[in-house]
């Protein structure tokens, strides 16, 4: 009979049919993920790759309906009794300036935990600066983004000298081998280029935010998700009170980092900035090109990468600003406004540690 024959034929090709069904299933699964009809946290990497499709699909909006904060216990914000009146807590473009007392870690953690935020920290340890890694990593495990997924990206010319520090779950040290430069100014400036290269090549697929810091530092108090925003800079401990004319911006108009004496908001430190991977890519790519242009024109900005960072943040205003609590130097003493010293410079013997 005809139907019999047909079934027989099918049976002979059962392997092909089996493979076809598997293929259809895989296609169906990836289509759903791709078009954003299904939201699987573990697939969020793929989803965010195709985020445009996710957003265009209206059912993504229904997913958003599920996001809410639980019932919480905290003291009421009081309009008539602001927590800080001794310092500026908001820029004229409505970016908050992060001082102790202005934020609730509990509320922020509830918000950021729901997003399952992953943070990358870039650290350069070229030549003798590998000696700073141990204390840096040990104190970071105590104070930096506790409870979050963290990748420490250690860029070094001496991978074998990276210490083995015990890390909490979900946190890892990723060693990225880089060459060193003869001049220390180039070591410092090349950070912009290296961060932009790795942002594009690696960070974008692994983390949500990138924090870029000096390695000759240690954590001594809480540094958490209150710092995270699209793009953020930190007030330099030596200039937070100063007048813009006195800032050590690059003042020669031939340099790409030039800032006129009647311009400038703050003097930002080169040793602590960050943002989303996208924004950090834009910032570091821009600065590294500006550095190359300067080089071609035979000029080097007075404070190297820091000068270019300051120019960038003048023309691309940061969405958050960290107070000097986040980058302090004990040589500056401890002023009244400084309630916490969260991230502090480790004293170094300049002759011993540099360019050996």
Report, in Å, the least distance between residue 354 CB and ligand 5GW.
3
Q: Which of 98, 120, 127, 300 binds ligand 5GW (CB under 6 A)?
A: 127
Q: Is 187 near ligand 5GW (CB under 6 A)? A: yes
Give the per-residue contact string, 132-171, with ligand 5GW (x = CB under 6 A; - = no): ----------------------------------------
* CA pair distance 350, 311, nearest whole angstrom: 28
Place of tokens 């002759």: 351
Report, in Å, the least distance between residue 349 CB and Mn ion.
13
Spatial neighbors of 84 by CB under 8 A, at least 6 apart, are 99, 101, 102
Closest CA to 225 of 98, 327, 75: 98
Both structure tokens of 58: 């209206």
Q: Which stretch binds Mn ion (CB under 5 A): 19-27, 30-38, 157-165, 210-218?
A: 210-218
- Structural contact between residues 328 and 345, judged by C-beta atoms closer than 8 angstroms: yes
* CA pair distance 137, 131, nearest whole angstrom: 11
Question: What are the beta bridge partners of residue 172?
Answer: 151
Q: Which of residues 245-284 bind ligand 5GW (CB under 6 A)?
A: 271
Closest CA to 342 of 319, 321, 354, 324: 324
Is 254 assigned a catalytic role?
Answer: no
Report, in Å, the least distance between residue 216 CB and ligand 5GW.
4
287 binds, among Mn ion, ligand 5GW, none (CB under 5 to 8 A by kind): none
Query: Exactly one of 141, 250, 300, 306 is catalytic; which is it?
Result: 306
125 binds, among Mn ion, ligand 5GW, none (CB under 5 to 8 A by kind): ligand 5GW
Residue 77 has what DSSP assignment? P
Residues in the chain: 356
Residues near ligand 5GW (CB under 6 A) are 124-127, 129, 184, 187-188, 214-216, 271, 354-355
Residues near Mn ion (CB under 5 A) are 214, 216
């Amino acid at each position: 009979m005809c139907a019999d024959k047909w079934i027989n034929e099918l049976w002979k090709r059962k392997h092909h049919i089996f493979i076809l069904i598997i293929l259809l299933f895989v296609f169906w699964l990836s289509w759903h993920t791709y078009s954003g009809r299904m939201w699987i946290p573990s697939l969020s990497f793929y989803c965010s790759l195709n985020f445009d499709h996710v957003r265009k699909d209206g059912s993504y909006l229904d997913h958003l309906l599920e996001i809410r904060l639980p019932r919480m216990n905290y003291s009421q914000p009081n309009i008539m009794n602001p927590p800080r009146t001794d310092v500026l807590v908001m820029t004229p473009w409505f970016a908050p300036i992060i001082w102790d007392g202005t934020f609730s870690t509990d509320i922020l953690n509830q918000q950021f935990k729901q997003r399952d935020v992953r943070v990358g920290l870039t650290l350069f340890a070229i030549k003798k600066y590998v000696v700073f890694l141990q204390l840096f990593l040990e104190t970071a495990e105590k104070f930096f983004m506790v409870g979050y997924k963290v990748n420490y990206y250690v860029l070094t010319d001496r991978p074998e000298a990276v210490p083995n520090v015990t890390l909490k779950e979900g946190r890892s040290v990723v060693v990225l081998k880089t060459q060193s430069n003869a001049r220390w100014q180039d070591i410092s400036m090349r950070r912009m280029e290296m961060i932009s290269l790795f942002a594009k090549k690696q960070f974008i697929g692994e983390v949500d935010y990138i924090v870029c810091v000096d390695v000759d530092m240690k954590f001594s108090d809480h540094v958490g998700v209150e710092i995270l925003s699209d793009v953020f800079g930190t007030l330099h401990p030596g200039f937070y009170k100063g007048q813009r004319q006195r800032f050590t911006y690059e003042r020669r108009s031939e340099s790409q980092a030039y800032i006129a004496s009647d311009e400038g908001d703050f003097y930002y430190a080169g040793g602590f900035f960050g943002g989303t991977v996208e924004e950090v890519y834009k910032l570091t790519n821009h600065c590294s090109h500006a550095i190359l242009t300067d080089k071609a024109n035979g000029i080097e900005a007075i404070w190297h990468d820091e000068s270019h960072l300051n120019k960038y943040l003048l023309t691309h205003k940061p969405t958050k600003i960290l107070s000097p609590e986040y980058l302090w130097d004990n040589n500056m003493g401890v002023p009244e406004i400084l309630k916490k010293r969260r991230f502090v410079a480790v004293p170094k013997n300049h002759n011993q540690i540099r360019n050996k």
